[in-house]
Structure 1
């Protein structure tokens, strides 16, 4: 297996690619072979994207009462959880959060809203906030506003949005087990519309939903076909009141193996570890960078707390990693 892993890494660095069958085979590595996989992912990462770490932060700008029935989500109106419920926050609050993210060293700041989409006055308010963030900070703003079309993407871009975030969440073959209120193709179409508008796309998913290892590979290959710019990787933190409240946590080793395989499938993309990092990786959080990740979210998530920012910044320093600074 060590020879196979090394051969795959050499092939990728030379401009080739890993096959679906090979990627699925790598999901089964155990023992010391896991470290061979991590070494290969690190070599590929350093060849294609270097050794810098990209940091991002978000604001939950509109929370709760979402009409979608995503099995994992605390904000779904189909679930009874303790998640906060409030309308779209004012632009001053978005700007203040962007400034805090900038102070903490994030290069990207995401405005995230619950619900299927935004339009009308809400969209206009977000457009105004984007213009102010662009004018009054150096941070690059992104948005995650649900399913949108090319015209909306162009409006957001003109207002200053750098990247649009829209997750596929899981593989197409598993999606009906997670969400039935919209089709997988709706998400794919959103990614394509945003790309057509000339906007960078941040698109990934969440692991530990009950999907198979092969389905994790399936989603990675879909992301490769869509040619997304960055891939956020979340790991389920089961929330009481959701359909997945009793789901077993994915192991730390499975998290790291999945990151490594995603690096081999998506060698030149930004791979950012986000939600569930603290819950699932615990003492192995720093290992994400040895498994192929080159980004992470700092601060809090949508409905769960993140790790103390200073603790994360110390971790990057201890690892000798340079963080990417904000720049318009």
Structure 2
């Protein structure tokens, strides 16, 4: 049996950065009611570093026809899905969306594009958007694999944080993507840090990875010293290789969040894609499991909780935003 006292003891070790491999193995093996006990420690850690829940929102600024073959992705050109396809949206439309968000409790607005990277003319469009919004809301972007030059230009224009997921562990990555390497992703994170950007990097869970590989990803992100970790939970997309994947349960999703909180106790942990679809009645427990933030509104190609729905949820739980 794993008790709340056990969880708090592990949390104290996590605070001192003294979790051992045996502790991680113990976390990996927890199941059933023991996962609920685990939340005593993860919620303690979250409250120790965060006094409010941060909200962020994204816009799909360019959709579909991605040159990469990530097995979970609705936007890959390799798979036949019903995902909308459109070129880079006009700066005026993206600025309007940002202005509207700036009037809400949402703290961060992120521009997200399909594809491995951006063309120079698209970088200029992003710069226009950043310039118009930089004094109104914190600005993030997820634009693929970019050069030091482009990242520097974006930071100068007002970009605060760069998002670039590792997606999964290094050992599992070859099973979900063959068109680029894990090392390319890590290099992009290092470049973003080099130019002084805050870095947001996490992954997608439910791809078939083991719990040991979940921990492997968390440890990699710890080594990279990223600032925020977005956790996404697979929504199987018809037409993709993972359309019939069925690896997640609400309790297992909570376990994943908690493990990340124990390994990265002082980092922002943001529950993002698949929150609406994968947690069921256990959804309010994401905050006890370790979430210090949530992505509100729609995801790239699927719907999520609306801002009003999320605000009502947080109000009912008496969380500050």
Please give the range of the TM-score, normalised by the shorter of the 2 chains. over 0.9
Identify which range, 203-212 or 311-320, moves more after superposition: 311-320
Equivalent runs, 1:152-163 vs 2, <5 Å: 152-163=150-161
Task: Give 1:206 deviation, angstroms.
Answer: 0.3
d(CA) in 2 for partners of 1:306 and 1:264? 27
The one-character-per-residue Cα deviations of 1:229-278 (angstroms, maximum 9, x if unpaired) are 00000000001011100101510000001100100000000000000001
Which residue does 2:301 correspond to in 1? 303
d(CA) in 2 for partners of 1:20 and 1:59? 39
d(CA) in 2 for partners of 1:203 and 1:21? 26
d(CA) in 2 for partners of 1:103 and 1:21? 47
Equivalent runs, 1:172-251 vs 2, <5 Å: 172-251=170-249
> What secondary structure does 1:182 align onto?
coil
CA pair 24-150 structure 1, distance change in 2 beyond 3 A: farther
d(CA) in 2 for partners of 1:241 and 1:53? 35
Which residue does 1:133 correspond to in 2? 133
> What secondary structure does 1:61 align onto?
strand
Which residue does 2:29 correspond to in 1? 28
Identify which range, 95-104 or 81-90, moves more after superposition: 95-104
d(CA) in 1 for partners of 2:102 and 2:22? 42
Task: Give 1:218 deviation, angstroms.
Answer: 0.1
The one-character-per-residue Cα deviations of 1:142-189 (angstroms, maximum 9, x if unpaired) are 110000122211111000000000000000000000000000000000
Match status 1:313 vs 2:311:
yes
Which residue does 1:6 correspond to in 2? 8
> What secondary structure does 1:211 align onto?
coil
Assess if the C-alpha contact under 8 Å between 1:61 and 1:111 holds in 2: yes
d(CA) in 2 for partners of 1:54 and 1:20? 31
d(CA) in 1 for partners of 2:258 and 2:305? 23
Q: How many residues align?
A: 319
TM-score by length of 1: 0.95
Task: Give 1:98 deviation, angstroms.
Answer: 1.1
d(CA) in 2 for partners of 1:34 and 1:198? 37
CA RMSD of aligned residues (A): 1.2
TM-score by length of 2: 0.97
Task: Give 1:102 deviation, angstroms.
Answer: 2.2
Task: Give 1:30 deviation, angstroms.
Answer: 2.5
Unaligned 5+ runs, structure 1: 324-328
d(CA) in 2 for partners of 1:97 and 1:23? 42
Assess if the C-alpha contact under 8 Å between 1:249 and 1:280 holds in 2: no
CA pair 20-170 structure 1, distance change in 2 beyond 3 A: farther
Task: Give 1:119 deviation, angstroms.
Answer: 2.6
Which residue does 2:43 correspond to in 1? 42
Equivalent runs, 1:97-176 vs 2, <5 Å: 97-135=97-135, 138-176=136-174
Which residue does 2:68 correspond to in 1? 68
Assess if the C-alpha contact under 8 Å between 2:207 and 2:247 holds in 1: no
d(CA) in 2 for partners of 1:283 and 1:98? 32
d(CA) in 1 for partners of 2:133 and 2:50? 29
d(CA) in 1 for partners of 2:272 and 2:14? 26
Match status 1:291 vs 2:292:
no
d(CA) in 1 for partners of 2:93 and 2:152? 24
d(CA) in 2 for partners of 1:238 and 1:208? 9
Which residue does 1:326 correspond to in 2? none
Task: Give 1:19 deviation, angstroms.
Answer: 2.7
d(CA) in 1 for partners of 2:97 and 2:193? 27
